[in-house]
Amino acid sequence: MPKELLTQVAPAVAADLNQVKEHVSKMLRCSPFDISHLSIRKRSIDARQKSIKVNLKLDVYFQGETFVEQAPELPDYQNVENAREIIVIGAGPAGLFAALQLIECGLRPIVIERGKDVRGRRRDLKAINRDHIVNEDSNYCFGEGGAGTYSDGKLYTRSKKRGDVDRILELLVAFGASDEILIEAHPHIGTNKLPKIIEDIRNKIIECGGKVLFDTKVVDILTESNQVKGIVTQTGDKILSDHIILATGHSARDIFELLDRKKIFIEAKPFALGVRAEHPQTLIDQIQYSCDFRGEFLPPAPYSIVKQVNGRGMYSFCMCPGGVIAPCATSPGEVVTNGWSPSKRDQETANSGIVVELRLEDFVPFAKFGALAGMEFQKSIEQKAWNVAGQTQKVPAQRMIDFTQTKVSADIPKTSYVPGTTSVELGRVFPGFITQTLRQGFVEFGKSMRGYLTNDAVLHAPESRTSSPVRIPRDAVSLEHVHLKGLYPCGEGAGYAGGIVSAAIDGEKCALKIAESIRR
């Protein structure tokens, strides 16, 4: 059996396995030649002290002990072409991993995606970036792979209690992701590499007899005696099944409206909303690593910060080191921001959502919309931002210190947001309570991270799609909708996940519950 070892080393040592072996041999008071193999199990950076260290969790094999490399492998997926059909609405991580799990259970997934395949989406992303044209069905939020495909591919999750995180990571590696995601404390695939992995997952679903339909929009859910019976597409076609996994993501407003119109019970859910702040990456490195230059052995520094301001939480969200800001509107007449990083995180800027927690009482002015009150609140801010920025995909922007001092910025430097910016006092975009919390909060952030509060940072508004503004209630045991049998609300859009990994876990859980119900 290998010896498990926890240790800290300098970044330069961590980058060279031979140096790690030298370090370990000194710790264990043995010769490096006594060690036959080292396996790094986990790796993280400790930048709390001036002398930065890398934490390593190692398996140490000695001479005479055999190390057998075990690369993650795909399950033995069976052919389900003639099996019972289960509808999966949405080809994001929840839907795709639900489909894979259904195949493992001997069921045939029919995956229905309103957007285009992962490569076809690129033309529409170019159109929104360059031409300010929003395709309502194919954009950064909709299309194969879901919102995470072209808006970062972060795999870090705090949702350890929700399910087997390692299983999801190992499946991603088996589908082509770097095995580094099994080691890193904050794993990340990168927007440039994730599309090929998503494509391979889709091909496996089809190879096993499943079906994937693109450019297919669900316009109705068929029910009979409180039991789902199938769906109707925009062309009028009916697809029948008495089990439906609803995995449509946090921006599928038409689905929320459909459920509300059909009196299928949904409820407003609190979420968070704010801005996306962009700094030079070198500045964030200097703050986080306490050095003028991070060197070749440290990655671009991330940050995470949480404050209580005016009795509300204000925090960083989806921080993208070495990344860019993207236009994520899903309808004409609105602007939305998000961020992403390529796999190397090698862009010159760092960005993060900086958001304020909202409460149900904040949606009272929209109470006439019932369960859709939070969604309408969200929509109103996105539309206001579109109007004040010039009614294109340009976003309202302001230098950070100017924002805290209520000053319109005399100029906005070029940022990574390709459609462009318009200098606006951001108090015009948000309700007063959000504006005041953000103003005070940035001052507090500056006290915790010296140098963070600077006019070299530009705020882009709004960052509004942090999570779903609607929850679709489900039974805690069966995972079926509380009132409609056979409907399995799933993933971020239903309010049960927050990112790629937790959404994938939730998709698997729903698929397993369906298989269990069919076997009974």
- Both 229 and 178 in one domain: the answer is yes
pLDDT in tens, 167-221: 999 999 999 999 999 999 888 887 788 899 999 999 999 999 999 999 999 999 9
Q: What tokens does 463 get?
A: 């960052």
Question: Which secondary structure element, helix H or strand E, spans residue 37, and what is its range?
Answer: strand 35-46
Position 128 scores a pLDDT of 97
Which residue matches tokens 């580094």? Answer: 180
Contacts of residue 466, Cβ cutoff 8 Å, sequence gap at least 6: 271, 272, 273, 317, 318, 353, 355
Q: What is the mean pLDDT of residues 335-363?
A: 95
Buried b (16+ CB within 10 A) or exposed e, 432-451: eebbbbbbebbeebbeebee
Phi first, then psi: give them for residue 460, nearest 5 degrees.
Answer: -115, 135
Rounded to an integer, what distance in angstroms lies between the CA atom of residue 110 and that of residue 213? 8
Mark which of 432, 463, 494 sits at the end of a domain.
463
- Both 11 and 100 in one domain: the answer is no
- Helix (H), strand (E) counts: the chain: 13, 22
Residue 69 lies in a domain: no
- Both 305 and 452 in one domain: the answer is yes
* Number of CB atoms found within 10 A of residue 26's CB: 10
- Both 456 and 493 in one domain: the answer is no
Phi first, then psi: give them for residue 281, nearest 5 degrees.
Answer: -60, -35
Phi first, then psi: give them for residue 204, nearest 5 degrees.
Answer: -65, -40
Q: For the chain, how big is the Rg over CA atoms in Å?
A: 24
Position 50 scores a pLDDT of 83
- Both 129 and 158 in one domain: the answer is yes
Q: Which residues pair with 267 in a beta bridge?
A: 471
pLDDT in tens, 441-491: 999 999 999 999 999 999 999 999 999 999 999 999 999 999 999 999 999
- Both 46 and 92 in one domain: the answer is no
pLDDT in tens, 61-86: 999 999 998 889 999 999 999 999 99
Checking if the pLDDT of 512 tops 90, the result is: yes
Mark which of 442, 463, 484 sits at the end of a domain.
463
Residue 76 lies in a domain: no
Peptide bond into 462 cis (omega under 30): yes
Mark which of 463, 481, 499 sits at the end of a domain.
463
- Yes or no: say if 310 and 436 are a contact pair by the CB < 8 Å rule: yes
Query: Following DSSP, what letter does each residue of 213-225 receive, concatenated?
Result: ESS--EEEEEESS
Q: What is the mean pLDDT of residues 262-285?
A: 98
Q: What tokens does 218 get?
A: 């669900």
As a whole-number percent, the residues of the chain with pLDDT over 70 amount to: 98
pLDDT in tens, 304-331: 999 999 899 999 999 999 999 999 999 9
Torsion angle (degrees, nearest 10) of CA 249, 250, 253, 255: 40
Query: Could you tell me the pLDDT band of residue 151, with boundaries at 50, 70 and 90?
Result: low
Query: Following DSSP, what letter does each residue of 22-81 receive, concatenated?
Result: HHHHHHHTS-GGGEEEEEEEEEEEE-SSSS-EEEEEEEEEETTPPP---------PPP-T
- Both 199 and 330 in one domain: the answer is no
Q: By three-state DSSP, how is residue 273 classified?
A: strand
Residue 154 lies in a domain: yes
Pairing mode, strands 487-489 and 395-399: unpaired
pTM of the model: 0.95
Position 188 scores a pLDDT of 85
Domain tally, the chain: 3
Position 161 scores a pLDDT of 55
Query: Following DSSP, what letter does each residue of 102-124 receive, concatenated?
Result: HHHTT-EEEEE-SS--TTTHHHH
Rounded to an integer, what distance in angstroms lies between the CA atom of residue 86 and that of residue 219? 18
Which residue matches tokens 């859009």? Answer: 493
Residue 68 lies in a domain: no
- Both 50 and 93 in one domain: the answer is no
Domain of 56, CATH number, reads 3.30.70
- Measured between alpha carbons, how far apart are the two ends of the chain, in Å? 42
Using alpha carbons, list the distances in angstroms from residue 413 to 279, 280, 451, 455, 456: 11, 12, 18, 10, 9
Spell out where 359-432 has E strands: 395-399, 421-423
Q: Which residue has the higher pLDDT, 234 or 147?
A: 234
Rounded to an integer, what distance in angstroms lies between the CA atom of residue 502 and that of residue 164? 9
Angle of CA points 351, 352, 353, to nearest 5°? 140
- Both 384 and 246 in one domain: the answer is no
Position 442 scores a pLDDT of 98
Position 82 scores a pLDDT of 97
Which residue matches tokens 């070749």? Answer: 296
Residue 94 lies in a domain: yes
Q: What is the mean pLDDT of residues 140-158?
A: 80
Residue 222 lies in a domain: yes
- Yes or no: say if 369 and 376 are a contact pair by the CB < 8 Å rule: yes
Q: What is the mean pLDDT of residues 285-293?
A: 92
- Yes or no: say if 109 and 519 are a contact pair by the CB < 8 Å rule: no
Domain that holds residue 14: 3-62
Rounded to an integer, what distance in angstroms lies between the CA atom of residue 301 and that of residue 436? 28
Checking if the pLDDT of 101 tops 70, the result is: yes
| Structure letter (DSSP) for residue 141 | S
Q: What tokens does 430 get?
A: 């948000």
Domain of 192, CATH number, reads 3.50.50.60
Position 158 scores a pLDDT of 62
- Both 402 and 500 in one domain: the answer is no
Position 159 scores a pLDDT of 56
Checking if the pLDDT of 163 tops 80, the result is: no
Rounded to an integer, what distance in angstroms lies between the CA atom of residue 503 and that of residue 493? 9
Mean predicted lDDT score pLDDT of the chain: 95
Rounded to an integer, what distance in angstroms lies between the CA atom of residue 259 and that of residue 256? 5
Position 419 scores a pLDDT of 98
Residue 458 lies in a domain: yes
Cβ-based burial of 182 (10 A; exposed 0-12, middle 13-18, buried ≥19): middle
- Both 234 and 193 in one domain: the answer is yes
Checking if the pLDDT of 1 tops 80, the result is: yes
As a whole-number percent, the residues of the chain with pLDDT over 90 amount to: 89
- Both 288 and 418 in one domain: the answer is yes
Residue 80 lies in a domain: no
Cβ-based burial of 284 (10 A; exposed 0-12, middle 13-18, buried ≥19): buried
Q: What is the mean pLDDT of residues 48-63?
A: 93
* Number of CB atoms found within 10 A of residue 364's CB: 10
Position 273 scores a pLDDT of 98
